Amino acid sequence: MKPPAGGSGKSGGVDPSLPRFRCQECRRALVVVGVDSYADRLPAHTAPGMHASAAQGSTMGAGSMDSSYVVLSKNNRSQGPGIPPRPRSAAAPHIEPNQPPRPIEGSYIMLPPPAASIYKTSSSEGVGRQLLPPSVNSSSSMPGNNSGFFSSVTVLKRAFEIATSQTQLEQPLCLECMRVLSDKMDKEIEDVNADIKAYEACLQRLEQEPYNILSETDFQKEKQKIEEEEKKLKAAIEEAEKQYSEVRSEMENLEIKSKQFEELEERYWHEFNSFQFQLTSHQEERDSVFAKIYVSQVHLELLKRTNVLNDAFYISHDGVIGTINNFRLGRLSNVEVEWDEINAAWGQAALLLHTMAQYFTPKFQYRIKIHPMGSYPRVTDIHNNTYELFGPVNLFWSTRFDKAMTWFLTCLQEFAEFAISLDKENNVPPEKSLKLPYKIDGDKVGSHTIVLSFNKNENWTKALKYMLCNLKWVLYWFIGNTSFAPHSGSLHTQSLKNKS
């Protein structure tokens, strides 16, 4: 398109009043060009202003315009009614050989004649006059310099609105988008045509198929049958709806029960955790109590096995000399034992025998009385004569001391005989009954006399050792028959007997 005369030298800035449209698909800017044809046909008094606007538009089109345009072409008049054909090439439109090159490159959309035919103008007039609305007279002068141009823009807007209403597409569109849309619509048309052909083929096949027309009687029967089936289906539907309502009600009840169950479950877990905590605490406390019980049982067993009398009166030996609570009873030529230690030993032995005799009184006839008085014990015979069982005494003048030791030995023998008789009463087997390891006969224990007068220290010491051994056996019999547990200290007695 040639630029208007006189506009080639004016290539200044773009007229701000020139409207800019956008493609409704790709949103690219569309610049309106080609409105100079209307400016050429304006009267003389209005032409200069219009020529200036047209020149600016042409200059803008030749210079800095976008690549997509909406153009009102002058060649549109010669094509007659209908939509102009689309160019063969999407890249560039066809150009006549003698036509000068267009100053604007890009895509173009031509308004179809039906869109422009609504304006009642003569076909011999130019494009600018064809696009004027009916209210604008071609011979009248327009106020202002650009009134004709803006009228053309108004017509262009109206044309876009008409195109939008007729094509059901938002106008304007650039040529590329129009081509894509056209291809898409062509594809849809092909699909619709294929569906139409398929429907026509099916219709022909159905028309060729033979079919039987039911008689009135058969029709009524078939109708009645269908009505009965309908009734059955309606009854089934009602039954299904009834069942549905029942199931719905049951579901609501189940949901309520489910919520209650969830609440119960949550409460259960809270109670379970609390119970688990209490159980753990109880188990820990129980384990602690069991540990205490175990320690107490061990201590009790230890106490049961503890021999109180044996602990209180520990009888053993120190070589040849017998001891009771570590007090030596006797003396040797090469071993000097003080009389205080001997008196203490006799006091412990007297206390032990007196304790055992007193326990069985009055069943035991306690004829010979022993008076434990610490380190100064005494013995009362059957005639109520009292003798001192402590020293010091002279080897040649120890009659009272000798009688006290003899009566003590006699009391020990009587208590041993009482123990043997008690075992017989209790049907204790002879092998388990008390039997003194050393026989007591008067003032002799075994084969040694307990009398100190005119006796050797070795023989007297050995007799005292045998007497303590017999006292040890009597002590263990006493423990076994008076709810005292036996003690391993009996081994001391056996070792005392073996060493003697």
- DSSP per position, 233-251: HHHHHHHHHHHHHHHHHHH
How far apart are alpha carbons 463 and 331 in whole angstroms? 11
What does pLDDT average to over the chain? 74
Most confident of 51-65, 177-191, 246-260: 246-260
Is 274's pLDDT higher than 70?
A: yes
Instruction: Locate the DSSP E strands across 319-432.
Output: 321-324, 327-329, 369-371, 378-380, 386-388
Please state the rounded mean pLDDT for residues 158-181.
78
Residue 459 to residue 104: CA distance in whole angstroms: 158
Distances (CA, A) of 61 to 71, 84, 89: 11, 23, 22
Q: Is the pLDDT of residue 361 over 70?
A: yes
| Cα dihedral 161, 162, 166, 172 sign | negative
| Range with top average pLDDT, 348-352, 425-429, 477-481 | 348-352
pLDDT tens profile 439-469: 998 889 988 999 988 888 899 999 999 999 9
| Domains of the chain, earliest start first | 158-206 (no CATH), 311-481 (1.10.418.40)
pLDDT at 203 over 80: yes
**Continuous H helices in 306-338:** 308-312
Question: Amino acid identity, residue 96?
Answer: E
Percent over 70 (pLDDT), the chain: 67
pLDDT value at position 447?
Answer: 86
Residue 12: pLDDT band (50, 70, 90) is: very low
Identify which of 119, 187, 202 has the alpha carbon closest to the alpha carbon of residue 156: 119
Burial class for 375, CB neighbours closer than 10 Å (0-12, 13-18, 19+): middle
- Other CB atoms within a 10 A radius of the CB of residue 144 amount to 10
CA distances, 106 to each of 21, 61, 90, 325, 409 (Å): 15, 10, 10, 135, 152
pLDDT of residue 15: 56
The whole-number pLDDT of residue 247 equals 94
Residue 96 has pLDDT above 70, yes or no: no
DSSP class of residue 404 equals H
Cβ(55)–Cβ(10) under 8 Å? yes
Give the least confident one: 112-116, 190-194, 380-384, 423-427.
112-116
Residue 373 has pLDDT above 50, yes or no: yes
pLDDT at residue number 92: 38
Q: Provide the pLDDT confidence category of residue 5 given band limits of 50, 70 and 90.
A: very low
Does the pLDDT value for residue 500 go beyond 80? no
| pLDDT score of 175 more than 90 | no
Is pLDDT of 89 > 50?
no
- Give the integer Cα–Cα distance in Å for 122 and 115: 15
Q: Within a 10 A sphere around the Cβ of 372, how many other Cβ atoms?
A: 18
* 153 pLDDT tier (thresholds 50, 70, 90): confident
Does the pLDDT of residue 412 top 70, yes or no? Answer: yes
Contacts of 222 (CB under 8 A, 6+ apart): 214
Kindly report, residue by residue over 107-116, the tens digit of the pLDDT.
Answer: 444 444 444 3
Q: Is residue 263 pLDDT above 80, yes or no?
A: yes
Confidence of residue 210 (pLDDT cuts 50, 70, 90): confident
What is the predicted pLDDT for the residue at 70?
45
Q: Are 109 and 153 in contact (CB under 8 A)?
A: no
Let me know the angle formed at the C-alpha of 440 by 373 and 430, rounded to the nearest 5 degrees.
110
- Return the closest-CA partner of residue 159 out of 126, 127, 181, 123: 127
pLDDT of residue 291: 96
Q: What is the pLDDT of residues 13-63, one digit of tens each?
A: 455 555 667 787 787 777 655 544 444 444 433 333 333 333 333 333 333
Element (H, E) at 207: helix 175-208
pLDDT band at 331 (very low <50, low <70, confident <90, very high): confident
* pTM, 2 dp: 0.42
Mean pLDDT of the 248-268 span:
94
